[in-house]
Amino acid sequence: MSTQSTATTRYLEADGIRFAYRLIGNSTINGTDSPPPLLMLNHIRSTIDLGGPVGTSIKDFSRNLISFLQALLLILNTPIVDVLGFSLGGYVAQQLVLDAPDLVHRLVLSGTGPSLGPNLQRPMAEIQSDVFEDPAVVANAVAAFFPAIVSDYGYAWINRSLSSRAGIAGTNGEPPIAPFTGGVALQNLTEAYLSWDSDPAPYSLLQTIQKDVLVTVGQNDLVIPTNNGIVLGHQLPRANLVQYPTSGHGHLFQYAGIAAKQISGFLNGDTWPISPFSAEFVDSIIQAYGGLDRYSKLSNVELKFDFTGATLGLKGRHTHLTPIASVSTTEQKVSYRGLGGPADEVWVFTPTKVNKQRPDGSIIGSRENPRQAFADHKMETPWDDFHFLYFSGYALWQYINFPYLLARGDITTKEIASHQEQGETWRVLKVTFPDPSAFASHSTVQKYYFNDKLELVRHDYAPDVLAGAPAAHYTVDNVVVDGMKFSTSRRVVALGPDGTPMYNGPIPTLINLAFRKIALKGSAAVEGPENVWSLTDAPSPRE
């Protein structure tokens, strides 16, 4: 078993060209009985530690690659390869499958786009300048590949790239570690990139590619704009598209573990769990609510609201509360006053511990692993203070941090069949959450319904802590606070045996939340009235 750190450099000649390559993984391949090897085609300035002449045409690259593969596949005793093309490598991969479809099994296209065609975007000039800078400046490369908020992933990628061969480079005939491609080779690559970008022929042939394709994009790719990857996915008849949140051109490096698992599953022919373009739908929802950039600058949302409903009485709690809450946007944490106990007592929720505190921060009492305390509960089982705090904490945290929490890497989404209700057609998103030990929520699987404005109108779940009783949660009366949208009225009703919401039936409202005040805290919040909404002082923003 060889790795990037241990694989030796090999050579072969084909059509008068000497090619260098490495075999990583299990190099024992037994013809058609083995999965196809994966050919990896890298980005514009990546080498395998060798300098050499580089062609000036993507089509020339493809012709040379075909010669290389025909020779290599004889050595490996296999007729076909899977191909992963990243960035410029994605251009070469597209041309390869057009020129020699019989050599390619499945195709992964990451951080790339099609050639000249409609509805494409050009990268910003300053980003192109950073990418083609000679010699390369590491800080500029990281800034081009990764959003500033996750730049640490970029430097980790650079460090891996420079250190992975450190133990073998320059010894026993192995080439030394080379810098990013520069000089004449970079000029040639630039010419190849520009000529591909101005050629409409490959774009016009994309719909003839009858291969299973996985297209991956970063949410905000500045090098090859995200939009271009989405267009590429739409043009390929058998493509799935995955969009990685809070990422850019370097999304594969930022989400290395998740990407490796998804790509391996795709190449192995596993049932593909992600509906095509559901990630695009999620991104549109997040943008409709204010966008991740604005959300990422918040620290807390402070709230005052009326909390009523039949569930409170059923669980032995006061049936009309007016708590004040501070909901964190950086971790699963909510602090309450007025949820129970004396007025100055602070109740604090986290997924692993809930506690009651005095005003000076000293602990009155706490419960570790609070979700375990709901084991064997029935619907009518009464709740103590800690049960109630855990439920009220995770529920409010989820409501206030939606839809931005959908950008988490451990949450998966799938758009399912639309739904008819109240004379409207609502799009429906099925969301699978992590295990409750890692992320506190009502249940592992939940459904969200959206109107034509991409506003959440209904949310279905079956809370584990309420004996799995199914419920429909309706949200209305949206307001915009400093550019971010919030619902100010929430009503939860039971779902009948046939799944019909019982909002007009004999069972009363289970939970009702009516917000009186919403205030944003953090660098995104503007000092002054823009970052506060009050039902009494500023009812006009209702929409």
Statement: residue 460 has pLDDT above 50: yes
Statement: residue 165 has pLDDT above 70: yes
Statement: residue 50 has pLDDT above 60: no
Return the SS3 of 56.
Answer: coil
Q: Are residues 256 and 307 in the same domain?
A: no
Q: Are residues 401 and 442 in the same domain?
A: yes
Q: Are residues 234 and 327 in the same domain?
A: no
Percent of the chain residues topping a pLDDT of 90: 55
- Please report whether residue 443 resides in a domain: yes
Q: What is the pLDDT of residue 467?
A: 94
Q: What is the pLDDT of residue 541?
A: 37
Q: What is the pLDDT of residue 429?
A: 93
- Please report whether residue 211 resides in a domain: yes
**92, 39 contact by CB (below 8 A):** no
**326, 334 contact by CB (below 8 A):** yes
Domain-ending residue, one of 272, 301, 333: 272
**333, 318 contact by CB (below 8 A):** no
Q: Are residues 60 and 114 in the same domain?
A: yes
**371, 436 contact by CB (below 8 A):** yes
- Please report whether residue 543 resides in a domain: no
Token readout for 78 is: 């296999």
- Please report whether residue 286 resides in a domain: no
Structural domain that includes position 411: 292-534
Q: Are residues 245 and 321 in the same domain?
A: no
Statement: residue 32 has pLDDT above 70: no
Percent of the chain residues topping a pLDDT of 70: 90
Domain-ending residue, one of 208, 241, 272: 272
Residue closest to 441 by CA, chosen among 470, 457, 463, 460: 463
- Please report whether residue 278 resides in a domain: no
**335, 344 contact by CB (below 8 A):** no
Question: What CATH number does the domain containing 211 carry?
Answer: 3.40.50.1820
Q: Are residues 318 and 386 in the same domain?
A: yes
- Please report whether residue 202 resides in a domain: yes
Taking residues 254-263, what's their average pLDDT?
A: 87
Which of 168-182, 242-256, 332-346 is most confident?
332-346
Q: What is the pLDDT of residue 181?
A: 74
Q: Are residues 419 and 528 in the same domain?
A: yes
- Please report whether residue 2 resides in a domain: no
Integer Cα distance of 329 and 377 in angstroms: 30
pLDDT tens string 331-356:
999 999 999 999 999 999 999 999 99
Domain-ending residue, one of 272, 303, 335: 272
Q: Are residues 341 and 249 in the same domain?
A: no
DSSP 483-527: TEEEEEEEEEEEB-TTS-B-TTSSS--SEEEEEEEEEEEETTSPT
Q: Are residues 344 and 487 in the same domain?
A: yes
Q: What is the pLDDT of residue 132?
A: 67
Average pLDDT, the chain: 88
Q: Are residues 244 and 143 in the same domain?
A: yes
Establish whether the linkage from the previous residue to 403 is cis, with ω within 30° of 0.
yes
Q: Are residues 303 and 403 in the same domain?
A: yes
pTM for this predicted structure: 0.55
Looking up tokens 């509805």 gives 119
Taking residues 106-115, what's their average pLDDT?
A: 96
Among 236-240, 296-300, 412-416, the range scoring the smallest mean pLDDT is 412-416
- Please report whether residue 5 resides in a domain: no
Domain count within the chain: 2
Q: What is the pLDDT of residue 543?
A: 36
Integer Cα distance of 342 and 540 in angstroms: 34
Looking up tokens 């990451």 gives 110
Q: What is the pLDDT of residue 438?
A: 79
Taking residues 373-381, what's their average pLDDT?
A: 94
Q: Are residues 245 and 311 in the same domain?
A: no
Q: Other C-beta atoms within 10 Å of 423: how many?
A: 5
Alpha-helical segments (H) within 164-225:
183-197, 201-205
Q: Exposed e or buried b for every residue in 430-443, given b needs 16+ CB within 10 A? A: bbebeebeebbbbb
Question: What CATH number does the domain containing 416 carry?
Answer: 2.50.20
Q: How confident is the model at residue 523 (pLDDT cuts 50, 70, 90)?
A: low
